[in-house]
Amino acid sequence: MERTFVMIKPDGVGRGLVGECLRRYENRGLKLIALKMQQLSSEQAERHYGEHKGKSFYEELVAFITSGPTVQLVLEGKDAIAQVRKMHGATNCLDAAVGTIRGDLGLSNQKNLVHASDGPETAQREIALYFTEDEIVSYELPVASWLQ
């Protein structure tokens, strides 16, 4: 089973879409193994988006992600990284397919509701930025055999 990191951004929290996003992940058969809500500090945002430092959109990105509360979660499942990225749709909501979170609910390129890890190394790094191992819960779903 693969783990991935997801953040529901300030626009998703502010528009009351946290439950809708969680419902979609769980309906897809992904297991929620960690969850928290916080307003990111500039330092946390800079660590999270460090690879974009120096790019033209970096300052705006940090300002947006720190503008309100966010929800961080860890999901686990078969090919979780690819599944979640497909569920999110294109980064620019105007290009995202109908049926995806961004295509159905997003408003723009920046206000695109959700972030997800783009690969195993990124997932590991991002999970470690927000969660200790003690905060990640291991358990079996009663329907686990149906989801394989």
Nearest-CA neighbor of 64 among 29, 104, 99, 115?
115
At 80-92, the pLDDT tens digits run: 999 999 999 999 9
Question: C-alpha 90: how far from its chain's center?
Answer: 14
Residue with tokens 């997800």: 116
Token couple for 76:
């686990």
In which band, very low, low, confident or very high, does the pLDDT at 147 lie, cut at 50, 70 and 90?
A: low
Secondary structure (H, E, C), the chain: CEEEEEEECHHHHHCCCHHHHHHHHHHCCCEEEEEEEECCCHHHHHHHCHHHCCCCCHHHHHHHHCCCCEEEEEEEECCHHHHHHHHHCCCCHHHCCCCCHHHHHCCCCCCCCEEECCCHHHHHHHHHHHCCHHHCCCCCCCCHHHHC
- Looking at residue 70, what is its pLDDT? 98
Please state, for a pLDDT cut of 90, what percent of the chain lies above it.
Answer: 83
CA angle 42, 8, 123 (to 5 degrees): 80
Which residues pair with residue 38 across a beta bridge? 70
Q: Which of 48, 52, 88, 115 is catalytic?
A: 115
Residue 148 has pLDDT above 80, yes or no: no
Rg of the chain over CA atoms, in angstroms? 15
Task: Enumerate the domain spans of the chain.
Answer: 2-147
CATH architecture of 2-147: 2-Layer Sandwich (3.30)
**Which residue's structure tokens are 């916080």?**
38
Task: Encode pLDDT of 85-134 as tens digits.
Answer: 999 999 999 999 999 999 999 988 878 999 999 999 999 999 999 999 99
Active site residue 48: no
pLDDT band at 23 (very low <50, low <70, confident <90, very high): very high
Question: Does the pLDDT of residue 146 top 90, yes or no?
Answer: no
